[in-house]
Amino acid sequence: MMAGRPRAPTFIVPPNDVLTPAEVAADRWRLGPLYQQLGTTNQCLQWVAKRRLFHNVVMCSNCNVPASLVKREEHIDGCRWQCRHCGFTKAIRADSFFERSHLPIANIVIAMYCWSCDMPQQIICHEADIALRCTNWCSFFSR
């Protein structure tokens, strides 16, 4: 490791913090605390990775070593996976439910919560701060 330059982490949350499938199934949300837990982009990424909705670790497909999580302010999530050896990169949302969306993670999670509580579409859009014209999310959740 080079002196003075910190090494980027190879995971979003420590692997021991990732919930088991049984813990994910037992996880209960409430709207108020959910808003607080999703307050920043970093908190959103941690919340999603902890619940196995994102890859917490990505292996470089070329070198077969863990890719590093590097900051990229130009990306909506503020980071992406990158191999320090060969330059391989992968979007943090790759291979996830969120992959094709351009909405912030927090908005999608809030919409998902509201949809699961059978809220009307107009309320979902209001609570998740999503334009009413973007409401194909409701049909997407039911797949």
For the chain, the domain total comes to: 2
Q: Indicate if 42 and 62 belong to the same structural domain.
A: yes
Q: Indicate if 15 and 37 belong to the same structural domain.
A: yes
What is the per-residue pLDDT across 30-76, written as a single tens digit (0 to 9) for each? 999 999 999 999 999 999 999 999 999 999 999 999 999 998 888 88
The dihedral built from the CA positions of residue 113, 117, 121 and 122, taken in this order, carries a sign that is negative
Q: Indicate if 93 and 47 belong to the same structural domain.
A: yes
What is the per-residue pLDDT across 81-118, written as a single tens digit (0 to 9) for each? 999 889 899 999 999 989 988 899 999 999 999 999 99
Residue 1 lies in a domain: no
Q: Indicate if 90 and 105 belong to the same structural domain.
A: no
- Tell me which residue of 100, 105, 108 sits closest to 79, measured CA to CA: 105
Q: At what angle do helices 105-116 and 41-50 cross, to 10 degrees?
A: 50
Residue 43 lies in a domain: yes
pTM: 0.85
User: Can you read off the two tokens belonging to residue 65?
Assistant: 């070593």
